[in-house]
Amino acid sequence: MSALLWALIALPLGAGAALLLSGRRWNALAPGLGLAAAAGTFGLAVASAVFRPEASAPLFAGVRAGLRVDGLSAVLVVAVAAVTTAVLVASPGELGPRENRGRFFGLMLLFAGAMTVTVTATTLPPLLMAWEVMGATSWALIGFWWHRPDRVRAADTAFVTTRAADLGLYLAAGAAMAGGVGSLDLTALTGAQGGWRHVACAGLVVAALGKSAQLPFSFWLSHAMRGPGPVSALLHSATMVAAGAYLLLRLHPLLVATGWAAPLVAWTGGVTALALGVVAVAQRALKQLLAASTSSQVGFMVLAAGVGDPSGGTLQLLAHAAAKSALFLAAGAWLTSLGTEQLPALRGAVRRHPLLGAGFVAGALALAGLPPLSLWVAKDEVLAAARAQSPGLYALGLAAAAVAAGYSVKALWYVTRPLPHDHDHDHDHGQEQDGGRRGARGPTRSVSTPVVVLAAAAVFLGVAALPGLSGPLRGVLGGGQQHAPNPWEMALSAAVALAAAGAAWWWLPRSAHAPRTASAGKRWAADWLSMERAARAVLVRPAFALARALAAFDDRAVDGAVHHLARGGLTLARGAARADDHGLDGAVRAVAAGCRRLGAWARRPQTGLLHQYYAQAVVGFTLLLSIVLLVR
Amino acid sequence: MTFELVLVLAAGLFSVGLFGALSQQSIVMIMMGIELMIGGVIVAAADFWHFLAPAAADGQVVIVVAVVAMAVEMAMGFAVTTALYRARQVDTTDMARELKG
């Protein structure tokens, strides 16, 4: 049975790697091959969900790479494969035949494969590897149009932010090792001894919150919007942001065991759901609104993980994945065909493409949490669990649900306006505003179909979780019945959602024509609570300043010493060379010159003339004689 | 007085020979000057032997050796001169300055 599981992860990873390496060579075939691989993965995922395979392989000494499809994994594996398939169906419309489709489809498959490994991993090492692969491929996908510097910067921001949070996983692995959990098994982490359990839990929570774009880290999602539409659709629904929520759902026993982590996670999720919902309301660009809403909706999943409601969290994850991928695909298609994503410029977008528009409307209504759609049901589950924990959390969640209705209706209101008469002018305006890529193509059927399918899933998934009909899902997830929402709770949340939606619908036409004097609070919310600026001020700038100071120290002190040493050595060598040239060499040369001069003198008497020799002999003898005579 | 007279004769012979050796151009003439000088030396040696140590035969031996040396020297000198002349038609010293340093 383990062969099934190996195939499940090998198919997307292998096909993705092959497509990625082939690049443009198989550009024409890439969509077909990618789609085939995704569909195959979906089939394998369904089979794994039925047969629940388990596999493991030796990795390090005493640590095995374990993979298992249990209830939670089964649901997620199918969801990941389904959303990936739907997104890949829609992708050719977004990426023209002249783009590097091999790279795109390869990266998408790698990304989905990494997510599959993440949700099936039972030990930390494979989870960590897949987590990293997911981060790296998300970077490559967000920066897919790397000719544009702003997109590359966006990818870098997203990557560095999630990567910084990912360090928590390493910390957790190290703490687990130190705490005596040599197998690094996820379920065994609870057994870590002493303070190491707290360290491991803190690392895992930080990593999960970063990946899920929860509060201190939310701003990277705003930048992640710069990537192609299908990337956003995949990244924001069943993968990446869902990975953090999944990890927290999976590790609920550990959160509870530490005592402090579960409430912390629950409150972080709740506050994120509310705060990022407000941010979403303040956005003027469709994709930015959807991004902030993703963070907000994932907040409900994190809240569910914190209060110990895996089935509610999973249901929320599924419903949100379906709704959000449909919305992002539609937004991406509009950005391609209309050249803008500014809400005022998107008036009447729904009427222009009725099928696509119908999918968008259904998805947005589901996102608003209106009864009887899926997110309403899921949210009620989560809220019921939250109420059991603390009334404050319940109120927070209810407020966040109201805000969710507000931002969904805001998006809905704009796109369902009648077509403006001077829409050409409007287009130009919008284009100026966002400088988007304008394509001449309209959204094709290849985009509309998956959008409609996903939106239908978003609408009808709720049925599976209605109190009377939720038996099968709970059976799969293995969760208890203890948090089934009361009828009055469901009625209350429905009333809140409807009231908020109605208020937003009533208020929007009045605000749209009002002079645009944004208050400071509104600007703050529109700027994603200035989180990025804060991160830059608190972390990035000091880090760069420190790096610069260290670089200067290195240049001046460390490098300088080496340079001075070298320069001193050079000077010394030059002095020695001068001493050698002028002293030793000079002496040798002087001796040689003297010898040569002596030789020249010695040659002078040797005239070759016999008479002169005789004369010299006479002079010599005379001298000798006179010396003898004088000395004697 | 004979001793001094013979010494004067030897000095005269030597001086004449020296003058000839220094002043003559022709190789043959120079060699003749040298002969005279050696002759003067031989006369002086014989004089010393005869008047100062007539009992010892050593002086005679020295004189005979000197005479033999002179004969050999002359034979060599004339041979060189003849060879030089045959080779290059040279007969004066100024024409043969190959040994210039």
Closest CA relative to residue A324, chosen from A358, A297, A357, A351: A297
**Which chain B residue is nearest to residue A615, measuring alpha carbons?**
B22
Q: A43: which 2 tokens?
A: 């089939």
Which residues in chain A are contacts of B99 at CB distance < 8 A? Answer: 606, 608
On whether any CB of chain A is under 8 Å from the CB of B18, the answer is yes
- Flag whether pLDDT at A432 surpasses 80: no
Query: Of the candidates A606, A614, A615, which has its C-beta nearest B100's C-beta?
Result: A606
Q: What is the pLDDT of residues A357-376, one digit of tens each?
A: 888 898 898 888 887 788 88
> CB–CB of A614 and B94 under 8 A?
no
For residue A466, the model assigns a pLDDT of 64
Q: What is the pLDDT of residues A260-283, one digit of tens each?
A: 888 999 999 999 999 998 888 888
> CB–CB of A611 and B22 under 8 A?
yes
A83 located within any domain: yes
- Flag whether pLDDT at A416 surpasses 90: no
On whether any CB of chain A is under 8 Å from the CB of B2, the answer is no
For residue A302, the model assigns a pLDDT of 92
Query: Of the candidates B18, B30, B98, which has its C-beta nearest A608's C-beta?
Result: B98
Q: How far apart are CA A451 and CA A350, in angstroms?
A: 13
Look-up of token digits 């928590």: A168
Count H helices and E strands in chain A, helices first. Answer: 28, 2
Query: Of the candidates B21, B30, B97, which has its C-beta nearest A608's C-beta?
Result: B97
Q: How far apart are CA B17 and CA B70, in angstroms?
A: 14
> CB–CB of A618 and B100 under 8 A?
no
Q: A556: which 2 tokens?
A: 């001046």
Contact A387, A489 (CB under 8 A): yes
CATH 3.40.50.300 fits domain B2-92: no
For residue A188, the model assigns a pLDDT of 84
Structurally, chain A folds into a number of domains equal to 2
Interface of A with B (CB under 8 A): 602-611, 614-615, 618
Averaged pLDDT, A236-257: 87
For residue A572, the cross-strand partners are none
Do A323 and A243 have their domain in common? yes
For residue A427, the model assigns a pLDDT of 45
Decide: residue A360, CB within 10 A, 0-12 exposed, 13-18 middle, 19+ buried: buried
Cβ count within 10 A of residue A573: 10
Share of chain A above pLDDT 90, in %: 21
H or E segment and range at residue A59: strand A54-60
pLDDT bin (cut points 50, 70, 90) of residue A468 is low
For residue A64, the cross-strand partners are A58
Look-up of token digits 């020295």: B62
ipTM of the complex: 0.81
Do A505 and A554 have their domain in common? no
For residue A386, the model assigns a pLDDT of 87
Do A500 and A547 have their domain in common? no
A204 located within any domain: yes
- Flag whether pLDDT at A22 surpasses 70: yes
A610 located within any domain: no
On whether any CB of chain A is under 8 Å from the CB of B84, the answer is no
- Flag whether pLDDT at A436 surpasses 70: no
Closest CA relative to residue A371, chosen from A265, A462, A243: A462
Q: How far apart are CA A126 and CA A132, in angstroms?
A: 10
| Highest-confidence segment of A10-24, A367-381, A467-481 | A10-24
Q: What is the pLDDT of residues A28-60, one digit of tens each?
A: 888 888 899 999 999 999 998 888 888 888 888
Query: Per the omega criterion (within 30 degrees of 0), is the bond before A467 cis?
Result: no
A381 located within any domain: yes
Decide: residue A540, CB within 10 A, 0-12 exposed, 13-18 middle, 19+ buried: middle
Question: What's the distance, CA A591 to chain centroid?
Answer: 80
Q: Classify the phi-psi angles of A29: left when phi > 0, otherwise alpha if psi is within -120 to 50, otherwise beta.
A: alpha
Closest CA relative to residue A295, chosen from A272, A317, A318, A278: A272
- Flag whether pLDDT at A479 surpasses 60: no
Candidates A614, A616, A619, A622: best to mutate against B (most CBs of B within 10 A) is: A614
**Which chain B residue is nearest to residue A603, measuring alpha carbons?**
B101
For residue A425, the model assigns a pLDDT of 45
Do A228 and A335 have their domain in common? yes
- Flag whether pLDDT at A441 surpasses 70: no
H or E segment and range at residue A553: helix A541-553
Bridge-based pairing state of the strands A63-68 and A54-60: antiparallel
| Enclosing domain of residue A579 | 536-603
Look-up of token digits 């388990």: A54
On whether any CB of chain A is under 8 Å from the CB of B100, the answer is yes
Query: Of the candidates B22, B99, B101, which has its C-beta nearest A615's C-beta?
Result: B22
**Which chain A residue is nearest to residue B25, measuring alpha carbons?**
A611
pLDDT bin (cut points 50, 70, 90) of residue A512 is low
Do A284 and A169 have their domain in common? yes
Q: How far apart are CA A430 and CA A285, in angstroms?
A: 10
- Flag whether pLDDT at A423 surpasses 60: no
Which residues in chain A are contacts of B96 at CB distance < 8 A? Answer: 608, 610
B residues 27-46 lying closer than 8 A (beta carbon) to A: 30
Closest CA relative to residue B40, chosen from B10, B9, B8: B10
Which of A463, A496, A511 marks a domain boundary? A511
Averaged pLDDT, A373-401: 87
**Which chain B residue is nearest to residue A613, measuring alpha carbons?**
B22
> CB–CB of B22 and A607 under 8 A?
no
Do A593 and A478 have their domain in common? no
Q: Classify the phi-psi angles of A63: left when phi > 0, otherwise alpha if psi is within -120 to 50, otherwise beta.
A: beta
Decide: residue A562, CB within 10 A, 0-12 exposed, 13-18 middle, 19+ buried: exposed
Q: What is the pLDDT of residues A339-363, one digit of tens each?
A: 777 888 888 788 877 888 888 898 8
Residues 6+ apart with CB under 8 A from A494: A370, A371, A376
Q: How far apart are CA A339 and CA A347, in angstroms?
A: 13
Q: How far apart are CA B33 and CA A459, in angstroms?
A: 149
CA angle (A267 as vertex; A261, A268 as ends), nearest 5: 85
A617 located within any domain: no
More confident residue, A447 or A113: A113
Which residues in chain A are contacts of B22 at CB distance < 8 A? Answer: 611, 614-615, 618
Do A228 and A163 have their domain in common? yes
A519 located within any domain: no
Do A174 and A134 have their domain in common? yes
**Which chain B residue is nearest to residue A606, measuring alpha carbons?**
B101
For residue A612, give how far its alpha carbon lies from the nearest alpha carbon of chain B (Å). Answer: 8
> CB–CB of A603 and B101 under 8 A?
yes
A609 located within any domain: no
Query: Of the candidates A606, A611, A618, which has its C-beta nearest B101's C-beta?
Result: A606
Share of chain A above pLDDT 70, in %: 91
pLDDT bin (cut points 50, 70, 90) of residue A81 is very high
Stated length of chain B: 101
Closest CA relative to residue A36, chosen from A8, A11, A6, A5: A11
Least reliable range by pLDDT among A30-44, A506-520, A561-575: A506-520
Which residues in chain A are contacts of B18 at CB distance < 8 A? Answer: 618
For residue A185, the cross-strand partners are A123
Q: A603: which 2 tokens?
A: 């040659």
For residue B98, give how far its alpha carbon lies from the nearest alpha carbon of chain A (Å). Answer: 6
Stated length of chain A: 632
* pLDDT tens, per residue, chain B with 101 residues: 688 999 999 999 999 999 998 888 888 898 899 999 999 999 999 999 988 888 888 888 989 999 999 999 899 999 999 998 999 888 888 887 777 76
Q: How far apart are CA A527 and CA A585, in angstroms?
A: 78
Contact A271, A204 (CB under 8 A): no
Q: A459: which 2 tokens?
A: 């609408």
Q: How far is CA A126 from CA A67, A162, A430, in A?
A: 8, 18, 45
For residue A588, give how far its alpha carbon lies from the nearest alpha carbon of chain B (Å). Answer: 26
CA angle (A84 as vertex; A82, A85 as ends), nearest 5: 65
For residue A563, give how far its alpha carbon lies from the nearest alpha carbon of chain B (Å). Answer: 60
For residue A467, the model assigns a pLDDT of 60
A625 located within any domain: no
Question: What's the distance, CA B99 to chain centroid?
Answer: 22
> CB–CB of B21 and A606 under 8 A?
no
Domain ranges of chain B: 2-92
For residue A586, give how far its alpha carbon lies from the nearest alpha carbon of chain B (Å). Answer: 29
For residue A443, the model assigns a pLDDT of 54
Do A46 and A182 have their domain in common? yes
For residue A388, the model assigns a pLDDT of 85
> CB–CB of A608 and B93 under 8 A?
no
Q: What is the pLDDT of residues A93-147, one digit of tens each?
A: 777 777 888 888 999 999 999 999 999 999 888 999 999 999 999 999 988 888 8
Q: Average pLDDT, whole number, for chain A?
A: 84
Decide: residue A627, CB within 10 A, 0-12 exposed, 13-18 middle, 19+ buried: exposed
**Which chain B residue is nearest to residue A616, measuring alpha carbons?**
B22
